[in-house]
Homo-oligomer: A and B are copies of this chain.
């Protein structure tokens, strides 16, 4: 198996992008990544695209081929494949691209992630997202994701004494980080009080505990590590890739406060990278709701199970803490165009490890981790990256 590096990255701004079409978004992110990587069409062996529900959000399936076309690669007949695993679709696309290079079949692969969610109304978006949960046991009976994560949160509060204020502090931290990310949907700080007093969605999760409905696209160019220096002076290596599954419905899990798929995916990635959680300098984790970030830092092995809330109190995960988490603003402030999220996490890791993250740069960042979740944890993907 060959080593694989990221040699180029591109992002659109995330947000409510009424003035840009699905095609424009993916073309923008892709062309930025290709320019950044200084590659040409003839260098590209394959495309992978992550999107959760383009069929329902914009009436378009078959978007692998569409992305090849809008990127100008149809005449080259480059293989183009869409990958889906709900909100983890982007990192699954990264992983498939990674495997195709590791296998020796491809040398250079462009990976895209996209979701354009605002073209449908808010309640329809919630319905579409619910198709990432178990249709027969959850969605059919009216469960949507705020309610599902609220059950995780109330159980976490019951088991471990986690407080609503600790949850709120996750949102405050991620908005503080988002201020320094020009691509973030919300580049505004928020107060603890405003999160605590926000409209209740599903107790204990208020409106500001929830990531938004977003449009956006992200792209990275992957390359066999031994050929990366041909294109760029600053390749960033993927040193670990892990993926795991769990039951689609929450009720099937061993423990609803633990995402076992995260635990297993992380173990796989740590083993491959030959590192431990202590070696990670910063992380992008899947904070679709504030409780999800608390579970993530526990399940990834950064913090003992049940102590995630206390870690937030102790500011371990702020920019100045010992393990900055969601320096990009996370899903909460950067935005969460679901298929783009996993790819955007790899963009953030790459920028940090190239020392190009501007005002949100983590000092001496050497090893970063990205953690992407589908649904309430039925799919989890973890990547670990290191500068070359």
Interface string of A58-74 (1 = CB under 8 A from B): 11111011101100011
Contacts of A69 in B (CB 8 A): 245, 247-248, 252, 378
CA distance A65 to B89 in the complex (A): 12
A135/B73 in contact, CB under 8 A: no
Contact with A135, one of B52, B58, B77, B260 (Cβ below 8 angstroms):
B58
Q: Is chain A's interface secondary structure helix, strand, loop, or mixed overall?
A: mixed
Q: Identify the closest chain B residue to A264 (Cβ).
A: B77
A62/B252 in contact, CB under 8 A: no
CA distance A265 to B78 in the complex (A): 10
A99-107, A210-218, A317-325: which one contacts chain B? A99-107
Residue A372 at the chain B interface, CB threshold 8 Å = no
For A, the interface residue count at a CB cutoff of 8 angstroms equals 62
Contact with A65, one of B104, B128, B246 (Cβ below 8 angstroms):
B246
Residue A172 at the chain B interface, CB threshold 8 Å = no
B131/A59 in contact, CB under 8 A: yes
A72 to chain B, nearest CB (A): 11
Contact with A53, one of B61, B66, B86, B243 (Cβ below 8 angstroms):
B61
Apart from A53-B61, A81-B92, 19 more pairs, CB < 8 Å: A1-B104, A23-B136, A53-B55, A55-B55, A55-B128, A59-B135, A62-B132, A62-B378, A64-B245, A68-B245, A73-B245, A74-B378, A77-B245, A79-B245, A96-B99, A99-B103, A100-B103, A102-B103, A102-B104
Chain A residues at the B interface, C-beta cutoff of 8 Å: 1, 23, 46-47, 52-53, 55-56, 58-62, 64-66, 68-69, 73-74, 77-86, 92, 95-96, 99-100, 102-105, 128, 131-136, 139, 243-248, 252, 260-261, 264-265, 374-375, 378-379
